[in-house]
Chain A
Amino acid sequence: MRSLDQYIKQIEKEISGSSLTSKSKEIGTVLEVKDGVAILEGLDNAFYGEIVEFKNGIKGFIIDLMEDSVGVVVLGDYLTITAGMSVTGTGFILSLPVSEQLLGRVVDSLGQPQDAGPKLRTTTYYPIERIAAGVIYRYPVNVPLQTGIKAIDSLIPIGRGQRQLIIGDRVTGKTTIAIDTIINQKGQNVICVYCAIGQKNSTVANVIDTLKSNDAMDYTIVVNAPAADPVAMQYLAPYSATAIAEYFLDQGKDVLVVYDDLTKHSWAYRQISLILRRPAGREAYPGDIFYLHSRLLERSCRIDKQFGGGSITALPIVETLEGDVSGYIPTNIISITDGQIFLETELFNNGIRPAINVGISVSRVGGNAQTKAMKQVAGKLKLDLAQYRELAAFSQFESELDSETKQLLNRGSRVTQILKQKKQNVYLLGEEVAVLWAATKGYLDEIPVAKIDLFEAKLIQTLRLKGKDIVKKITTSKLLDEESEKQLEKIVKNTVSFL
């Protein structure tokens, strides 16, 4: 036990030590305030990306450095900032607190909780902007990220570390695909980050509710920058979400990030750029609009095992206008990503949901990541669908068709039906394989198209009741061997006869 004298000495030392610390700070004054942007003078030694603090506690970050002035994006209520107010440089680059406690939380672009939960206590900070991992650290994508959606897992497979764009008009189910994918990561050892940019708070609340009711919040973090937030927060949100993802990546974990959506993100950046009087280019977007998204999506990667492993899979969402994918932002992001899932209003209205146009949707790297079991059934499925699409267009006018064509059309329409899937109804790999196997083997050819969904529901029910072992076997071994096929045949035949 230490004596009282020692304590007194220690306290004396502490007091005498702190009294003479003098640190010089950088200060500046506000010249003008525009929508969400303040122009300052002073801050002669400030650097790009530095956080500054206004006298009333509002923070901002430096985005423009000119000869005699500094442009600052205000992260908060800019209406309380007045000209002449003093501003202090903090010397910190824009960063946000990260920790395991983030799981299950809803935070804003700066990592501050937006839900009713406790304050985050951490000393670890990650920079919001970070240069992506170089080629040395990377490893090819070859582990699947199961979405639990038949159409995607079979035809447009996604691998861990891939960047797969989800693109389509409004209300075509873009968010639904992303949310279903998050729900399907339960027990897959994947951390999910859902980043809402410029969305309605009611929509985000719905998403959180859906995730909660499916027990998906346990491994999910929501980064929310709603439409009501300052435009700077919306601009930062995807970078913050990626920074959070990188925290888990650095621990060797697999992470899935959903950016919902990047169209609104580019609007936010356009607004900032225009207020800063940067030269405007096509559609008034600034010159570096391409870099805006390429530097963001480049941060998704799969890291080599010898450097710690882990991956960040990105599912950016882009909204198009009347199916026009040749717009400025959509084409940019299509060229950056490793493939895209096209959703169409027409398909959606015809009741084909998810409304994926499998003809023009591609996955450039996901094929290597597909499991063997899925490959076994997907190959035939693709062929069936391709032939069907080719014939379906002009066969509408022909009254008499030869039996082979009829057979192809017959099969195609059934395969299209079987790829339909209700939302929040994700399948295990084994279940997906079983259903698709039945379709490609021609067991559905005799069933009327209207009864296909009934067959599927019955089959899934049977598989979940009696066929647990076979589903488990396929899901874990990721193989479809002869013995499994025999068992499947029995179950499928049984189900067909039951209809």
Chain B
Amino acid sequence: MKLTSRLKEDIKKYILQRQKAQRDKVKIIAAYKLSQDEIDSLKKSFASFISSEPEVVIDPQILAGVILRKGSKVIDLSLTGKINKLQNVLHEIA
């Protein structure tokens, strides 16, 4: 199928937009399955960040806590993040 370059541009834009919308969805990454109460309290604490209905993903690798993601923005409240930070500090001091 042959496409005019104009059409191709438009399709690319549309796909990019859809991808962006997909990426901009709020994602909560947690170490275990969160109860509705916990999700609600997160929503309350981060009212400005969690603007849409969040998707909850379970990742045992983060050990504890949560990571909130929206687009390219991340709020890292996980234990792994804290440990990594500590590791960096120790590395800098040594």
Q: Is B31 an interface residue (CB 8 A)?
A: no
A45 touches B77 (CB 8 A): no
> Which partner residue on chain A sits nearest B73 by CB separation?
A24
Q: Using Cβ atoms and an 8 Å threshold, which residues of chain B touch A42?
A: 23, 71-72
Chain B hits for A22, CB < 8 A? 46, 75, 77
Instruction: Say yes or no: is B74 at the interface (Cβ < 8 Å to chain A).
Output: yes
0/1 per residue, B14-51, Cβ < 8 Å to A?
00100000010000000000000000000000100100
CB-based contact A26/B72 at 8 Å: yes
A44/B75 contact (C-beta < 8 A), A24-B49, A68-B16 known: no
**Set B16, B46, B72: member contacting A27, Cβ < 8 A:** B72
Interface size on A, residues (CB 8 A): 13
Please, which residue of chain A has its CB at the minimum distance from the CB of B92? Answer: A119
A25 to B46, CA, bound (A): 15
Instruction: Give the distance to chain A from B64, nearest Cβ to Cβ, in Å.
Output: 13
A45 touches B16 (CB 8 A): no
A45 to B49, CA, bound (A): 15
Q: Which of A23, A43, A45, A68 is in CB contact (< 8 Å) with B75?
A: A23
Which chain B residues numbered 51 to 94 have a C-beta less than 8 Å away from chain A? 69, 71-77
Q: Is there contact, CB below 8 Å, between B74 and A27?
A: yes
CB contacts (< 8 Å) of A68 on chain B: these are 16
- A28 CB within 8 Å of chain B: yes
Interface centre among A22, A24, A44, A68 (most CB of B within 10 A): A24
User: Residues of A with Cβ closer than 8 Å to B?
Assistant: 22-28, 42-45, 68, 88
**Besides A22-B46, A24-B49, A25-B76, 10 new A-B residue pairs in contact (Cβ under 8 A), listed by A number:** A22-B75, A24-B74, A24-B75, A25-B75, A26-B74, A27-B73, A28-B72, A43-B72, A45-B72, A68-B16
Residues of B within 8 A of A (CB): 16, 23, 46, 49, 69, 71-77
Can you list 14 contacts pairing A with B, beta carbon distance less than 8 Å?
A22-B46, A22-B77, A24-B49, A24-B73, A25-B74, A25-B76, A26-B72, A28-B72, A42-B23, A42-B72, A43-B72, A44-B73, A45-B72, A68-B16
